[in-house]
Amino acid sequence: MLIIPAIDLKDGQCVRLKQGLMEQATVFSDSPAEMARHWVAQGARRLHLVDLNGAFAGKPKNESAIKAILKVVGDDIPVQLGGGIRDLDTIERCLDDGLSYVIIGTAAVKNPGFLHDACTAFPGHIIVGLDARDGKVATDGWSKLTGHDVVDLGKKYEDYGVESIIYTDIGRDGMLSGLNVEATVRLAQALTIPVIASAACPVWTTSRPCAPSKAKASSAPSPVVPSMTALSTSRQRRNSLIS
């Protein structure tokens, strides 16, 4: 089982949003780099970053915080980033800065030709983020609900050559209620690439670790810190990934 701690960035701070609402943000740290250092020290083997401002603006907005995280992490573990990545130049810049993977969300839905070109230009580095409510994909920082079925899009993107898919159930995000297991398994069983299912996993600072990786909570104003939990149950890869 692989646990991938998530660092959600808003205005240069580490936050957790409730159901994707920017006005419903809880701040956990003013230092994203120190949060990254904490997770590496706890044994994290991969980090997941989300530029929340970028997701709404359509281009990266927390670049200084992201670069500070990459400086702290170095080459120790891979780091993936989502939020506002909507053109090939941005992908190239992100990879040149040291990111291992980029996550394409809104642009994959609105401009599938761009996703196809990205998979061709940067094979092995492209992850698609599918965020859904009641099985329908949402875009633009979850502010717009489309009529696209999450499984249908997953199959399409698999054919394009994406490395994996991150699936988020919007209704559960930030609620510390765990995975939507049924929806996650439905998607994973339809694909052969890994499906990373994200959800808020409660982690207590005292005696409740999130998973066997010995990941612990950071010092924060709340006894619970946000993390993403992922599950991979594709037919070719049954191991679990947790993000």
What are the residue numbers of the active site? 8, 131
Instruction: Count Cβ atoms within 10 A of the Cβ of residue 148 and give its class: 0-12 exposed, 13-18 middle, 19 or more buried.
Output: middle
- 117-120 LR contacts (CB < 8 Å, sep 24+): 117/88, 118/88, 118/91, 119/160, 119/161, 119/162, 120/161
* Tokens of residue 187, six digits: 């998607």
Best CA proximity match to 141, nearest among 154, 129, 125: 129
- The DSSP H or E segment spanning 90 is helix 88-97
How many CA within 13 A on the CB side of residue 174? 18
Secondary structure (3-state) at 59: coil
In 4-125, DSSP assigns E strands to: 6-10, 13-18, 21-29, 47-51, 79-82, 101-104
Instruction: Count Cβ atoms within 10 A of the Cβ of residue 97 and give its class: 0-12 exposed, 13-18 middle, 19 or more buried.
Output: middle
Alpha-carbon Rg of the chain, whole angstroms? 16
In 11-135, DSSP assigns E strands to: 13-18, 21-29, 47-51, 79-82, 101-104, 126-133
Best CA proximity match to 212, nearest among 48, 46, 42: 42
